[in-house]
Structure 1
């Protein structure tokens, strides 16, 4: 009976539900079955059925929920369930997670897996996995890989109409993208936009084609249309950095400075070493403050931390419009030595903020005027008013506080 239960457990694990049912029925006739196994089988069957039914009507949230439930019930190495999960994630615009789900499927122990004749809506499971792979690859811009995956599906399941239709669409989209790229390289931006648009007829939710067409609109000075295409690309793939950058650039041309600053702030966090993004953010912040009638004379890009040696110098800086961060330090204090590089880094990361440094050994009068007895001490001023004071903060607290006021000052 132990061997029978082990065999049944493996069938569950691989998601071979029909085989598991036949095996259980045989074991029950031989009085070697366990009621708990029967309940487990029914549970997996129920969730798998609900997931496939939800797929038929395009209810992708339910399809994902039920596939996850079936996997949790024991079928965690089912090729069908993982492919269902990946397709649902793709339709829900969670592209990276869809991709990682398929990658985990490919990493399963091949010696334990055997493709079966099981079908999903008339499509062989092996073919279905390749079809999902093709669509995920296409959404992530891997067009050649998408065509190859769809062709593999056709070889496995040559008579299936759905496989043939998807293969045809994948080929047409890949061809449109290639044509658009060639036209773009030739500076034929209007023709390139039409080519990318042809591809979108067959795959309306392809973020790469939307982003590529946005690049065409940018070159044609049609920045509103560029924003529209970037919005669509980001709706489908919210983490699409290239689309976010193109939208920020378009907002700049349209002088929509608040939107522009918001996008560049996100890009700054994602690309902290990109000096071009940092500079673009700075100029957008200056433009936004200018439209609000704020004084921007003290704003500088990428400057070093300014050394303060007098009370007058400190007051002149902290009472000016904008945000100033004052760092009280000592050149012999170990904690100051450790945190100073982070202060220099923050100065570069937040170019719209004014960073000041007071060496309490060289300028004791300034330290006394500010009642600073312990170093490192940080004080943040906004429009002349002190809004934050931190004594010996951790690096995490310092970064969080500085970035908080950097955003709120935009």
Structure 2
């Protein structure tokens, strides 16, 4: 009710909803639109507005249902098809977005076509970067997709989480995969689709398993990997991830119990099923150190140094990327944030500790080998000096 005691008209309700939407007060906007719909239940534009808000509230299934209601009212409405195309673009379903675009209103079609084409191009380049182990380039393409409107996509959030994991930015990776789970949908043409050669749901669980493992939560990692395996038992990549997670988890348990030789064997086999990661290589170096296999320890440390050098080169690529998108402040902010995170990763304490271990191992190689295993690096050093 307004200040003068009268009830607002439906146009005033819509205006209030629009204003609330601009302020990003989505709950309030939805409430005002619902009040307007009560008086005009077959107004297609109100259905569009409601669907738009539901997308922003991550209520994907409800938004699609709202578009279905609009379809039952006015099947040939060009704005309906434009909305459906944009809806699927947000979900990262590029093929579906292209399909619905064909019936979109002409005033919107060209701009929509360009947006979809750009998103598709960034996805292709991102997938190529993933195959080439160029994690920074992949993230750059993912962020460019987000800037083109792919803002509610479980597959793209999971893709980004995987790349952050590869860069050992574990907290950021975990936050991103959590966002991916929030964007889960029961829409069959989305959740049963394939991404990077895997069923989408299986891919999400596979990435989650690797993040859980890197965070030291082995039991959860094994459980997540098993879920991915059950969804698609015939996929080679998922099978490899499942085996890798189990081996590393078993190796970690052996290491914690002081059985360094068994841990070393598990870690070594695990390397055959996945690309080397910082945590795994550090575990390997630690095993070799505990077993006083100094030369092997040095080799692993050198691998880690080479990996970090490649990251440093990728940081330069990130700096260059800022020049590629000079007019887009959003993407520049994202790239700069990624750059800072990457530089911080190079300075992590574990890298410093690894460098110290490398120096100590190199010194140990110059001395006669010890005959008994030591329990700690400090005792190993003392044994070397006394021999």
> Normalised by the shorter chain, which TM-score bucket?
0.5 to 0.7
Helix, strand or coil at the partner of 1:26: coil
Of 136, 140, 144, 1:69 maps to 144
Structure 2 contact 247–266 (Cα < 8 Å) conserved: no
* Rounded Cα–Cα distance in structure 1 between residues aligned with 2:234 and 2:274: 23
Equivalent residues in 2 for 1:243-254 (5 A)? 244-245=352-353, 247-248=355-356, 251=359
- What residue in structure 2 maps to residue 16 of structure 1? 93
* Rounded Cα–Cα distance in structure 2 between residues aligned with 1:233 and 1:141: 20
* Rounded Cα–Cα distance in structure 1 between residues aligned with 2:220 and 2:199: 20
- What residue in structure 1 maps to residue 247 of structure 2? 172
Can you give the 5+ residue segments of structure 2 that lack an aligned partner in the other structure? 1-77, 309-344, 365-377, 379-387
* Rounded Cα–Cα distance in structure 2 between residues aligned with 1:167 and 1:253: 33
Deviation, 1:83, is 2.2
1:210 aligned onto 2:281: yes
* Rounded Cα–Cα distance in structure 2 between residues aligned with 1:135 and 1:192: 18
Deviation, 1:225, is 5.4
Could you say which structure has the higher helix fraction? 2
Could you say which structure has the higher strand fraction? 1
Equivalent residues in 2 for 1:255-274 (5 A)? none
How far does the alpha carbon of each residue in 1:189-220 deviate from its partner, in whole angstroms, 9 at most, with x for none? 45544444344444452333433344444445
Equivalent residues in 2 for 1:213-292 (5 A)? 213-220=284-291, 226=297, 229=300, 232=303, 235=307, 238=346, 241-242=349-350, 244-245=352-353, 247-248=355-356, 251=359
1:98 aligned onto 2:173: yes
Deviation, 1:72, is 1.0
- What residue in structure 2 maps to residue 116 of structure 1? 191
* Distance change in 2, residues 1:143/1:19 (3 Å): same
Helix, strand or coil at the partner of 1:27: coil
Equivalent residues in 2 for 1:6-405 (5 A)? 6-27=83-104, 34-108=109-183, 115-182=190-257, 184=258, 188-203=259-274, 205-220=276-291, 226=297, 229=300, 232=303, 235=307, 238=346, 241-242=349-350, 244-245=352-353, 247-248=355-356, 251=359
Deviation, 1:14, is 1.6
* Distance change in 2, residues 1:238/1:222 (3 Å): farther
Structure 1 contact 227–247 (Cα < 8 Å) conserved: no
Deviation, 1:18, is 2.1
* Rounded Cα–Cα distance in structure 2 between residues aligned with 1:210 and 1:91: 13
* Distance change in 2, residues 1:24/1:177 (3 Å): same
* Distance change in 2, residues 1:7/1:166 (3 Å): same
Deviation, 1:62, is 3.5
* Distance change in 2, residues 1:45/1:221 (3 Å): closer
**Structural RMSD (CA):** 3.7
User: TM-score normalized by structure 2?
Assistant: 0.53
Can you give the 5+ residue segments of structure 1 that lack an aligned partner in the other structure? 257-279, 281-410
